[in-house]
Structure 1
């Protein structure tokens, strides 16, 4: 297989698998009430279904770089898709909550390898002048999956049953598997390094505990004092890992990469930006369905312009970055995302649907440019030998920032709602308006993190030469 063929089809390989993963991550939430009724448990008790998946991701992602270096990107990516697809079938066949939790843990293990290993294959295949265009294509599933998930899930549950939600992954997984065996290159590490078991215990335990706390945050399933104590334990474990990584010859995650300015700003700035935007997939359906009283299908349709704008942006983001540079684009675009989020605070029952569609389109447009820029900038100064470590670290921080963003969005909305009943549309709208303004302001402030970039940073990546659509 020649290099040109690999470059032409590899983005499709990675995008197909990531679309399956991102769609599944949000589609399940729609089916919780139907699943609870079928399994004869309360909906709240199925919180473990989501939490088990997040825990598995938190532990599995840090291991992905070492596994890919040891066994090769093709084998690991193919195995990840196979595990994810088979565990999806097990989820659909589950007869009780315990079986569902076990299947979701297995599914999370497969998902934990997909994103970092897929990114690693892209980074090692494309030169830095071509990387931005490739990343443009690969980032689309991460943007449209969370938007399509609730709509697709609602339609499936309405017309079929909750079990078919998981079976949707089967044909996608088969197609992805065929693409992997045909077009995925097999990259391995230049030298074998020992596995950092102590690092896994410290970092994996800290990440898993922190992710679990964020997942159950606001559900009143845990006493405040116990929550604070567990949070302190999680932070102590992560600090212990930081101390360990500074001394270890072969740490699980090499924090020395943060000495590279472009990598540091990309990961830290992306983390801060996601704190503001991470809660939108949760808050916006509430605004449409509870606040405005729209049916689920119409709510889903109103989120489609955001996905369309995200896809359209891939055609112009490379010229924008080449013309203005990463520093200017990320500073100004982060502000525009914050403004777009604040615009949702103007949406009421009297707002024309065309205006709501326009806001969604703007948000999708700016979000797409933001995360394409962040994800490609991370590798601007990373050496090929460091690419697997960089992909692992970036994926780990992305996962925890998404959990933080969702928790913050929920907390802010609940604070504004206060003691008002969630069945009161006017109270819900007012609370969500306050949440949108708060999250928008937080996003605008996060733009300060990108001022540390220099005008020339990322120039080797932004000069994309080849269109890889």
Structure 2
């Protein structure tokens, strides 16, 4: 019944979600052969893509015809269904060795990252004094610096920075984070544009954004063939630019834009965004060995959540800047031009990270790795 209660409940929800994501990834990575990873991840990324686009129409329907609290109550039957399905179908996958939990690293990294993200979000929040923002930033910065020193001295840090020595993992983290900043802003900017700018109802705007999910699902059957034909580096480089352009494209929507044009742009955007997500997720683990998979999934999960949060912060900041330029407090259609262009540009800049990959990066995962001469000779001898 208060803002503090809502924030605390959302924090608790975030803790649960933060545990679910890396565990789900780990089950897939430890049970699926590396050569079949792209196909498995193509389907695994669907829920992550469906959530942001299914949320608006479902939430719009609930708030239009029921009470807003049911947006949260609906999670209970979904959680029960997930519990039953996990019990029936998920194997009890365990690591060969269990390392000692890094309590100090957990505290330092948690305080540091939470402080920095909170400070960036608080910059746009009205009513929060600047001294609180500075304290959060200082606390976060000091904690991160202390963690970097701590991580070099322990055998199994909670976030293993040594994983960044793998070029594919490094590209997946850096390029993937930039790309997710752009994607993370979309669930904030697009519904606001459609509802406040174009006057659509929550349900109507949700149905418009839903076509993104259709495009995302449509890409899943083609991802493997595209990667096998062009390879990770080429796909990630050029698709970063294409996806960035599609993220920026709603900046040119006006009240006169036909709904069919909007639907087509969002459908195509979902198509290419889905391809990029699958490629980023797959290339991140191309060189990681099984014993390090647990640390790798935790690392990528943290980076993903931070990037998505920063996406919302960047989108909100650009909206505030647009209002400040006009000296107004009321949003209108023209205020969304700058935010969409900025987040689209940030997503496209991920091109730089992917351009540094070797031309044959992730060949085995993409299904393009050919047999060596010795292996060919053995195969011919058997035939």
Tell me the TM-score normalised to structure 2 length: 0.91
Distance across 2 between alignment mates of 1:195 and 1:147: 36
In the other structure, the counterpart of 1:452 is 356
Question: Using the alignment, how far apart are the partners of 1:249 and 1:407 within structure 2?
Answer: 35
1:49 matches 2:6: yes
Counterpart Cα distance in 2 of 1:134 and 1:170: 27
1:463 alignment partner, one of 360, 367, 375: 367
Paired position in structure 1 for 2:197: 291
Output the CA distance in 2 between the equivalents of 1:132 and 1:396.
Answer: 21
Match of 1:127 in 2: 33
Matched, 1:301 2:207: yes
For residue 381 of structure 2, what is the aligned residue in structure 1? Answer: none
**Match of residue 276 from structure 1:** 182
Deviation at 1:420, TM superposition (A): 4.3
Structure 1 residue 434 and structure 2 residue 323: aligned? no
Give secondary structure in 1 for the equivalent of 2:193: helix
Tell me: higher relative CO, structure 1 or 2? Use CA pairs within 8 A at least 6 residues apart.
2
Aligned length: 368
Q: CA deviation at 1:108?
A: 2.7
State the match for 1:177 in structure 2: 83
Find the residue that maps to 1:249 and give its secondary structure: coil
Deviation larger for 160-169 or 354-363? 160-169
Q: How far 1:372 sits from its partner (Å)?
A: 0.6
Residues in 1 aligned to 2:224 and 2:192: alpha-carbon distance in whole angstroms: 34
Gaps of 5+ in 1: 1-38, 53-100
Q: 2:256 aligns with which of 337, 350, 366?
A: 350
Asked if the contact 2:231–2:368 (Cα under 8 Å) also holds between the matched residues in 1, the reply is no
Distance in 2 between the 1:417 and 1:446 partners? 28
Once residues 108 and 342 of structure 1 are traced to their aligned partners in structure 2, the CA distance between those partners, rounded to angstroms, is: 28
Give the one of 71, 90, 94 matched to 1:165.
71
Q: Does the 8 A contact of 1:318 with 1:464 survive in 2?
A: no
Matched residue, 1:327: 233
3-state DSSP class of the match of 1:306? helix
What is the aligned partner in structure 2 of residue 251 from structure 1?
157
Range that drifts further, 328-337 or 157-166: 157-166
Change (3 A) 1:231 1:439: same
Matched residue, 1:35: none
Decide whether aligned partners of structure 1 residues 291 and 172 sit closer, same or farther in structure 2, where only a CA change above 3 A counts.
same
Structure 2 residue matching 1:195: 3-state secondary structure: coil
Provide the rounded CA distance (Å) in 2 between the counterparts of 1:228 and 1:182. 49
Q: CA deviation at 1:122?
A: 0.3
Distance in 1 of aligned mates of 2:269 and 2:85: 32
**Pairwise CA distance, 1:444:** 2.0
Q: Contact between 2:57 and 2:210, CA under 8 Å: does it hold in 1?
A: no
* Contact in 2 for aligned 1:325/1:462 (Cα 8 Å): yes
> Is there any run of 5+ residues in structure 2 with no aligned partner, and where?
370-383
What secondary structure sits across from 1:278 in the alignment? Answer: helix
* Contact 2:96/2:291 (8 A) holds in 1: yes
Match of 1:393 in 2: 299
Find the partner of 2:50 among 144, 158, 165: 144
Structure 1 SS opposite 2:221: coil
Residue 288 of structure 2 aligns with which residue? 382
1:106 deviation in Å? 3.6
Among candidates 110, 135, 147, match of residue 204 of structure 1? 110
What is the root-mean-square deviation of aligned Cα atoms in Å?
1.8
The aligned residue for residue 117 of structure 1 is 23
TM-score normalised by L of structure 1: 0.75
* 271-280 or 399-408, which deviates more: 271-280
**Secondary structure of the structure 2 residue equivalent to 1:279:** helix
Q: 1:354 to 1:123 in 2, by over 3 A?
A: same
1:410 aligned to 2:308?
A: no
Distance 1:368 1:314 in 2: 8
CA shift in 2, pair 1:464/1:147, >3 Å: farther
Separation in structure 2 between the aligned mates of residue 455 and residue 339 of structure 1, nearest angstrom? 24
| CA positional deviation for 1:229 | 3.5
